[in-house]
Homo-oligomer: A and B are copies of this chain.
Amino acid sequence: MMKNMRIPSLARPLGAMTAALLLAAGAAHAAEPISPIVAVKVTNAAKVDLGKKLFFDPRLSRSGFISCNSCHNLSMGGSDNITSSIGDRWQKGPINSPTVLNSSLNLAQFWDGRAKDLKEQAGGPIANPGEMAFTHDLAVDLLRSIPQYVTEFKAVFGHDKLSIDEVTAAIAAFEETLVTPNARFDKWLQGDKTAINAQELRGYELFKSSGCIACHNGPNVGGASFQKMGLIEPYKTTNTAEGRFAVTKQDIDRFYFKVPTLRNVELTYPYFHDGAADTLAQAVDTMGRLQLGRKFSEAEIADVVAFLQTLTGDQPRVVLPILPPSSDKTKRPQPFD
């Protein structure tokens, strides 16, 4: 492991100041294929606050019951911990809900990457008949009927236009704040050698040497590429999602999915696009066999799982928003119609 670390170089005589600067600049982990999550500095608090309200507002769904937070629950690692999500009228979703945490670091959004960024993503579930089952027009009409929202949108965007563009921009601004710095592993990357223990370090070494790192790398330990699910052995599932193929319509992209982040992975069970793996141990075993052609031993799996659990960072501290009340003009939801 040490060959990949810059820490030894810091042992050379350096002024304390220089060493601190190098650490701050990330020099201590420059050679590692995973980099720490950087805390977010909120520059537009009003926009983030508006986005938070919208993220928690179930009135953006046909039923008045399902909000972004229903399936990207910030109490539960930004996911819903269900195999596939529950949509309008209890419809079974087609895919496992990916975590919203650190999602701004992904190369694209959704498992198949069909949205280029969080703003584009945010409009999807609102209008998806199997999810929130509303329409962008109805969502905007609803928000326009609520005086406090109208005031807030105007304050944030500086004009009276309240369209789905402003709605999704605000939601994305909130979601961009949902990063999880200070994971134990990041502290280790930053030079605190006591932040992870011997087993966790063994797990990380195996994670690298066995090839997991080829796809799960970068600040999000994933999220940076599309890869084939079932590379060495085919993945068996009843789930009908075909991954990237749905976007490109090219056969070569069939079963290529966005590599999920492993940040906070101990909180985001069950795993894989079909949610078929209940535990991290199962997920590591399956990945080893199907993607790497390697049967990990129980001890090896335990080591990798121990490493993965060091990737849990500080969860966003979210004060529950108080939603602006509907006005007499606001159309009431009819969830049972």
Contact = CB atoms under 8 A, between A and B. Distances in A.
A322 B315 contact: yes
Contacts of A63: 82, 86
B75 A332 contact: no
Nearest to A57: B75
A335 interface: yes
Interface string A191-208: 000000000000000000
Size band of the interface chain A makes with B:
35 or more
B323 A320 contact: no
B315 A317 contact: no
Q: Tell me the interface secondary structure of chain A in the complex.
A: loop
Given A65-B86, A317-B319, A336 B75 contact: no
Contacts of A92: 335-336
Contacts of A58: 73, 76, 80
A111 to B, nearest CB: 19
Interface string A55-80: 01111000111000010011111001
A56 B82 contact: no
Contact of A269 (B315, B320, B321, B325): B325
A4 interface: no
Given A319-B317, A332-B278, A65 B89 contact: no
A65 B77 contact: no
The listed residue with most B CB atoms (<10 A of its CB), out of A57, A70, A317, A335, is A335
A281 interface: yes
Nearest to A67: B75
A147 interface: no
A285 interface: no
Contacts of A90: 89-90, 335-336
Contacts of A115: none
Contacts of A80: 58, 64-65
A107 interface: no
A328 interface: yes
Given A267-B325, A315-B322, A325-B267, A64 B89 contact: no
A184 to B, nearest CB: 15
Contact of A74 (B64, B267, B320): B320
Interface of A: 56-59, 63-65, 70, 73-77, 80-83, 86, 89-90, 92, 266-267, 269-270, 278-281, 315, 317-323, 325-326, 328, 332-333, 335-336
5 contacts: A64-B80, A65-B86, A75-B322, A82-B335, A317-B320
